[in-house]
Structure 1
Amino acid sequence: MDLRIFTEPQQGATYDTLLRVAQAAEELNYGAFFRSDHYLHMGNVDGLPGPTDAWVTLAGLARETKRIRLGTLMTAGTFRLPGVLAIQVAQVDQMSGGRVDFGLGSGWYAEEHAAYGIPFPKEKFGRLEEQLEIITGLWNTPVGDRYSFDGTYYQLTDSPALPKPAQPRIPVLVGGHGTKRTPAIAARYADEFNIPFASPEDSERQFARVRAAAEERGRKASELVYSNALVACVGKDDAEVARRAEAIGRSVEDLRENGLAGSPNEVAEKIGKFESVGSQRIYLQILDLSDLDHLELIADKVMPQVSTR
């Protein structure tokens, strides 16, 4: 089981805070550092000092880390034109020496679009499909060839399709709970399918849909990595679990039911339930970015248990 760190900087984090978390995650041998792509806070927080841009952040981290993989859960498809995004992600991949994983979603948070003057189209899935087609098409076009695309939402004419990523293929993540179009899009474009904040039972059903969609397209279902994103709240004892839950404004009961909360042994056992339904990777949503001891505890007491299964 691959454990990765997943952050939500729109809730209130500077670049320096994210750098400390990413460097700690690298030192502690987590598989990757991921961040959300949002410009507006959620819930009962003020979001100070304000948002940071996902790909500007990852560009900085690409130069200030050495080994850890970097990515997004998920880049909002409504924020950037696909040709521009292809350039940005390829450049960050070059800057990191080939350590980028690229998660792309349709965009969903209407309030942040209104707050920053970003158009929020009604039809997002069709746009997402075209964005994935364009971005992967640009990256896969041989150097010296041209790429054109004439779609419903986007048109590209004689693009030089540059720059190229450092990796032969940047892993593409698609995710979500949708039962029809989401599995179909994942089967066509994804290297990894992620389901956020779901139970083992719901994960098993969604993984099965994606596997079936992949096989319908003539792909082996095993070609995809299957993963979960879950909030983490781990403590060496009940008092520490309660303290960490309070720090993020959640109840211990809710976190035990809907996330990964409790002692290291409890959390390792629950991770095993996700592994038993096909999950190969867990993105640990860390909401208190000042608590690096939390990362250390998970790395020291949980990671050894799940990495040897």
Structure 2
Amino acid sequence: MTLDLRVFTEPQQGASYDDQLAVAQAAEQLGFSAFFRSDHYLAMGGDGLPGPTDSWTTLAGIARETSTIRLGTLVTSATFRHPGVLAIQVAQVDQMSGGRVELGLGAGWFAREHEAYGIPFPAKRFGLLEEQLAVITGLWGTPVGETFSFAGEHYTLTDSPALPKPAQARVPIVVGGGGPTRTPALAARFATEYNQAFPELATIAPRIAVVDKALADAGREASSITHSAALVVAVGRDEAQFRARAAAIGREPDELREHGVAGTVAQAVDRLAQVAADGVERVYLQVLDLHDLDHLELIAREVAPQV
């Protein structure tokens, strides 16, 4: 098996820009293919100090202080930004990075953060997501010198110059979610990657089959999309170190082993082999202790070479 391993962080739980930069630079030096972060404005438990950081502002800074690692969101909420603005932001960060950006986009789900920061949170959001994907890809795909217009239920664009363009000919787009039909169809229409976020392990392979059917229905080859999963990670050189890392993030060792890439090095390798056998090609390792850079080094040196 050959798995693409990426580092995925949750900065809303309490991380400064400098904390995130240190993780991104360490991940780059250690050979992880990407540094991704969530797009949230409110901690889910705990005080969240020093407070939230905006995902695209943060990634813009990191883009200028790294050179090879890919950068993205898992996932940006469609409720946070108008699609025209988001298209400009992502294209600019892609330029700033020399073409290393990927856009994960979702409908948004955390009502409380919207209340906390005065962001509208409509009850029905799938339509927002669908139109945002159409607008963003439409803007980027419009040839220079031509204009883009769009008339939808939620957004209307008239004669947009559709600028700026990303550095990449096509910015990879990640779509995920658990819906039985609409989300796979949306991924088949727009995405280069389909992500399962913290899935029950038994559901991974059946979900991949559903997405592959949606691709076939849309006239796309199954190989045209990358299947990925986000899983919490906590690995130790031995059982004692694993349990210490579990305690540091406030999780029970047995629960971590059941749901994540967790335990000793051998156990982590076995779990990654399992998800690869189910069809996963890329794993986003959810790193919850951003100050434990030795954890990243252990994974890079002892787990990654075996997968």
Q: TM-score, normalised by structure 2?
A: 0.99
- Cα distance between partner residues in 1 of 2:79 and 2:106: 9
Matches within 5 A, 1:11-30: 11-30=13-32
- Cα distance between partner residues in 1 of 2:253 and 2:79: 35
* Percent of paired sites with the same residue: 62
Which residue does 1:126 correspond to in 2? Answer: 127
TM-superposed deviation, 1:221: 1.2
SS of residue paired to 2:171: coil
Which residue does 1:281 correspond to in 2? Answer: 282
Of residues 9, 15, 40, the one that matches 2:11 is 9
Letter in 1 for 2:117: Y
TM-superposed deviation, 1:201: 2.1
Query: Does 2:203 align with 1:198?
Result: no
Letter in 1 for 2:83: P
Gaps of 5+ in 1: none
SS of residue paired to 1:55: helix
Which residue does 1:37 correspond to in 2? Answer: 39
SS of residue paired to 1:108: coil
- Structure 1 runs (4+) greater than 2 angstroms displaced: none
Letter in 2 for 1:87: I
TM-superposed deviation, 1:233: 0.3
Which residue does 1:109 correspond to in 2? Answer: 110
TM-superposed deviation, 1:199: 3.1
Letter in 1 for 2:17: Y
TM-superposed deviation, 1:181: 1.1
Which residue does 1:305 correspond to in 2? Answer: 306
1:86-122 CA-partner distances (Å, limit 9, x unpaired): 0000000000000001100001100000000000011
Matches within 5 A, 1:1-309: 1-43=3-45, 45-306=46-307
TM-superposed deviation, 1:193: 0.2
SS of residue paired to 1:4: strand
- Cα distance between partner residues in 1 of 2:103 and 2:40: 15
TM-superposed deviation, 1:25: 0.1
Gaps of 5+ in 2: none
Letter in 2 for 1:219: R
TM-superposed deviation, 1:200: 3.2
Q: TM-score, normalised by structure 1?
A: 0.98
- Cα distance between partner residues in 1 of 2:177 and 2:241: 32
- Cα distance between partner residues in 1 of 2:150 and 2:108: 22
- Cα distance between partner residues in 1 of 2:178 and 2:154: 24
TM-superposed deviation, 1:176: 1.4
CA contact (8 A) 2:201 2:259 kept: no
- Cα distance between partner residues in 2 of 1:300 and 1:200: 25
